[in-house]
Structure 1
Amino acid sequence: MDKLDSTLLNLLIRDARASYADIARQLGISRAHARNRVQALVNAGVIEQFSAVVNPEKLGKVVSTFLDLRVAPVALEPISQELAACPEVVSLYIMSDLQSLHIHTLTDSYESFDAFVRKHIFNRPEILSVDCKTLMTRVKNRRGGARL
């Protein structure tokens, strides 16, 4: 991957719907060359998918909460799969200590978040501890992926 590919990726991160003509114009290359470069990045697995960035607040999802769970190692995989299947969970990561889950949830109210934790988190002996923080202000976020 070279500088042209990095610039091309940043264009697509900002607008995945950019036409090959727009990409070519911004990069100073032909439309066919832009198409070939994008296709090569897809074929190489650098671009996994083209997607839309959705504003959760416009969908009524106004409570953004981050949970860090410490889980008995034997239960890490089943609990992570169960929580990943919940519509409230937008991202879930197994951390390097192999006993922690980092989870981001989006809900429409504190009451629905409370219902989620009561159903899936509380009174589970395999969940050893919970650290929970609700987002107050978004200063910077990763819209569409990392900038290269």
Structure 2
Amino acid sequence: MNTTDTELLNLLIKDGRMSYADIARQLGISRAHARTRVNALVEEGVIEQFTAVVNPEKLGKAISTFVDLRVAPAALQQVADELSACPEVVSLYIMSDLQSLHIHTLTDTYTSFDAFVRERIFNRPEILSVDCKSLMSRVKHRRGGARL
């Protein structure tokens, strides 16, 4: 990767639908070169996919909650797999201590979040502890992906 590739990626992070002509214009390269570089970055796996960023509040999902679970290590992968399949879970990470899950959920109400944790978390003996915090306000976020 060179400086042009980094600038190209930043443009696509801001607008994944940007045309090759617009990319070329902003970077001072030819349209063919822009297309070649984008295709190369896709082939190399640097660009995994082009996608839409959806505003969850516009879909009625205004309750953003972060849940940290401590799980019996033998059950960690199974719990992670089962919770990741839940529609309320938008991201789930296995943490470096290999007994913790960090989960981000989006729900429409606190009542639906409460139902989720009662059905999917509280009744599982392999989940040893739960810490949960709701988002108050966003100061900085990665909408559109990481900035390079």
% identical aligned pairs:
80
Aligned equivalent of 1:51 = 51
Match of 1:92 in 2: 92
TM-score after normalising by structure 1: 0.99
CA RMSD of superposed structures (Å): 0.5
Q: Which residue number in structure 2 is paired with residue 77 of structure 1?
A: 77
Counterpart-to-counterpart distance in 1, 2:48 and 2:141: 20
One-letter amino acid matched to 1:50: F
Distance apart, 1:143 and its partner CA: 1.1
Query: Can you give the 5+ residue segments of structure 2 that lack an aligned partner in the other structure?
Result: none
Correspondence 1:136 to 2:136 = yes
How big is each residue's C-alpha offset from its partner over 1:41-76, in whole Å with a ceiling of 9 and x where there is no partner?
001100000011100000000000000000000110
Equivalence for 2:22: 22
Looking at structure 1, the residues matched to 130 and 44 of structure 2 have their Cα atoms a distance apart, in angstroms, of: 39
Structure 1 residue aligned with 2:145: 145
Unaligned runs of 5+ in 1: none
What SS class does the counterpart of residue 57 from structure 1 fall into? helix
